[in-house]
Structure 1
Amino acid sequence: MSLFSHEIENFWQAAFLGGEIRCREGKLTLAVNPALSEDRRVMLLATADGHTSAVMTPALADQLDLGSGQGLTEQVLRQKLRDGQVALHGADYVFYFSEATKRVLLEEAPVHTLRQLTAADEAVFAEFQAAVSEQDLDDAYVELDHWLVFGAFEGERLVCAASMYPWEGQKLADMGVLTLASSRGRGHASRVVRAISRHACGLGYQPQYRCQVDNQVSAALARTAGLSQFGTWEVISPDSAESL
């Protein structure tokens, strides 16, 4: 039985198995789908159970000579991608709340130092943004005009903020979180992640937390906040030729 909701499982199955299955070999499945968008024309998903799913356009699969023959492994697949000059963007960890953890989350009482932010918080949010680096702002992608925004306060000062934006046509909502350097290590980020996730779950959305696999601080935050790793997700890099 899966740790995660049917909505999460169904989303990823549709993304990777919605086309024609060209190959199943051990723990590797390769599918082709002509409906993939330009920036998703090659994707790999390695789930926590050790299985890897790959999907790409039929034209690219043919170009890389990825037929239905025997002996295809993840190592061989990745080598064919490299030989074909198909570069993958750095892998993301993908985290969700398990169904059991989500039930606990929904029963938690609100924390008095946390609250939802609105347009009325423009001044306090601007002060918060001014206190962090441009790099941190870019990496976290936390914006006051996102679909859902929560913040943690020390007195009247906003010291940590998280925002969410739903995926188009899906009940998944990505989140970003950012804490002032002077207020880190006090548990603000994990509490804000849980608060915004609780609110999103109450609206029928599945909170989704993603970070690069080399960002161990962010991955540790996800786990501390109670999220479980679903897998690692890779998509084609913008550096690959558009003709591929």
Structure 2
Amino acid sequence: MDLSSNGFSGKLPASLFDSFYAMKIINENITTSYLGVQYDTLTITTKGLDLQFFKVFDQANIVIDLSNNRFEGYIPRTIGDLIGLRTLNLSHNNLKGHIPTSLHQLSVVESLDVSFNKISGEIPQQLASLTFLAVLNLSHKHLVGCIPKGKQFDTFENNSYKENDGLCGFPLSKECGGDDGVPHAATQFGLDQEEEGDSSIVNWQAVLMGHGCGLVIVLSVIYMHIVGNRISIMVFEVV
């Protein structure tokens, strides 16, 4: 499906992908003869290249290209149900929110491009399971945290993450905090320390309040004891 560069605007409806039944299966033996429809040329941008196809549908080239529009809102999680998808291009829109973790279900996706959007948050670590992923473009967004490690993510270069100052980890020169590479390890440590510091302050306040109350009680008992002794002496002298 190629709807790129059409000036579409508004939210990207999740229901749009519900009827894409052919994309919800992985079948290398599927044929396209039943369609009986062809175009002279169909240009699709995938893996950073402009490719021309002559058939509307080809199992080896199941594509969703919604790039260069003005779509808003969030990336629908239902895209993750399209497990037969090979190319997903949502670049150059006004999409916001996080990258949905459901995209890790796209087990045969080869090209994923969501660059030039307003997407923020972390890159889901689950995306490291996409072993067919050959091209990844997450540039020009507001992503933070550690870049996933292993498999295909060890093959991507800096350009895949360009203009995301909050990212760290390979292949970027900025290292992530912590020895285990856990996202936001340093930040979490700072938060833990801050919470621990707050707890300490509260505990000291409780201790001081407790000591204060105890001191008042002790002084009151001593005072009452002294006053009582004085009264006893006065009574004794009168008698």
TM-score, with length taken from structure 2 = 0.25
When you count strand as a share of all residues, which structure comes out higher? 1
For the pair shown, which has the larger CA radius of gyration, 1 or 2?
A: 2
Greater RCO, CA 8 A, separation 6+: 1
TM, length-normalised to structure 1: 0.25
